[in-house]
């Protein structure tokens, strides 16, 4: 069997590991997907319409999912700071606890973690490279992390010393972005072709902390 096909088949098998019928810990697959996304999304993407786009559902379906998550106290709506007519969805501490204890993808995350930092970085980079090829074939991503986005501009130093106070700017929303926010998901993301500088600092820190 060609090596590439074998690798893709393994990828498909790995992906099957987090699909399930019915519900787990009281949530169906799409509800888990929504809670997971909202737990990782930045302030521009924690809206009902961004959620609908991410999970590939209608606004009505997304709104039903939000109601279910609210009824379980995993989610609350708050008025947006930027636009008082809009709402922002916030995952509660109960929702975060549920994600950390019961998210069906946790066992896959644990399996990847067991590879070790260096192998994890290699796997991430290979998957990113694959996504770049798929992007080129017009397979648009629903969301990805801010630090890989072409709209992210560096405003302050991102040296390992000054990292805590480094500032960034989103050129699309014309808004400041903190270093922590560069790790969050955004549905307005557009992939940059250059390897992000911030990532090199983070990877260096990860390798150093591994010893």
**In the complex, minimum distance from the CB of residue 142 to ligand SF4, in angstroms, rounded to a whole number:** 12
Cα–Cα–Cα angle for 209, 210, 211, nearest 5°?
85
70 or 167: CB nearest ligand SF4 = 167
CA separation (Å) from 11 to 14, 77, 123, 130?
Answer: 5, 36, 11, 12
108 or 169: CB nearest ligand SF4 = 169
31 or 181: CB nearest ligand SF4 = 181
34 or 184: CB nearest ligand SF4 = 184
How is residue 86 annotated by DSSP?
Answer: S
Of the candidates 80, 82, 99, which has an alpha carbon nearest to the alpha carbon of residue 38?
99
18 or 173: CB nearest ligand SF4 = 173
Backbone conformation region of residue 116, classed left if phi is above 0, alpha if psi is from -120 to 50, else beta: left
**In the complex, minimum distance from the CB of residue 64 to ligand SF4, in angstroms, rounded to a whole number:** 26
**In the complex, minimum distance from the CB of residue 201 to ligand SF4, in angstroms, rounded to a whole number:** 17
**In the complex, minimum distance from the CB of residue 172 to ligand SF4, in angstroms, rounded to a whole number:** 4
**In the complex, minimum distance from the CB of residue 28 to ligand SF4, in angstroms, rounded to a whole number:** 28
Sign of the dihedral defined by the CA atoms of residues 178, 183, 184, 185, in that order: positive
């Amino acid at each position: 069997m060609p090596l590439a096909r074998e690798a893709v088949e393994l990828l498909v098998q790995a992906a099957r590991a987090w699909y399930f019928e019915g519900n787990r810990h009281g949530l169906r697959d799409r509800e888990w997907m929504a809670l997971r996304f909202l737990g990782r999304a930045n302030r521009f993407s924690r809206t009902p319409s961004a959620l609908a786009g991410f999970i590939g559902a209608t606004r009505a379906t997304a709104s039903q999912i939000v109601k279910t998550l609210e009824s379980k106290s995993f989610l609350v709506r708050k008025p947006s700071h930027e636009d008082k007519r809009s709402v922002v969805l916030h995952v509660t501490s109960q929702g975060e606890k549920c994600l950390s204890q019961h998210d069906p993808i946790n066992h896959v995350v644990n399996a990847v973690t067991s590879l070790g930092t260096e192998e994890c970085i290699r796997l991430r980079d290979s998957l990113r490279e694959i996504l770049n090829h798929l992007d080129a074939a017009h397979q648009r991503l629903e969301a990805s992390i801010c630090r890989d986005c072409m709209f992210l501009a560096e405003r302050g130093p991102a040296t390992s010393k000054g990292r805590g106070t480094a500032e960034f700017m989103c050129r699309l929303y014309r808004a400041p972005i903190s270093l922590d926010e560069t790790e969050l998901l955004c549905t307005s993301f557009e992939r940059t072709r250059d390897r992000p500088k911030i990532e090199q600092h983070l990877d260096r820190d990860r390798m150093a902390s591994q010893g």
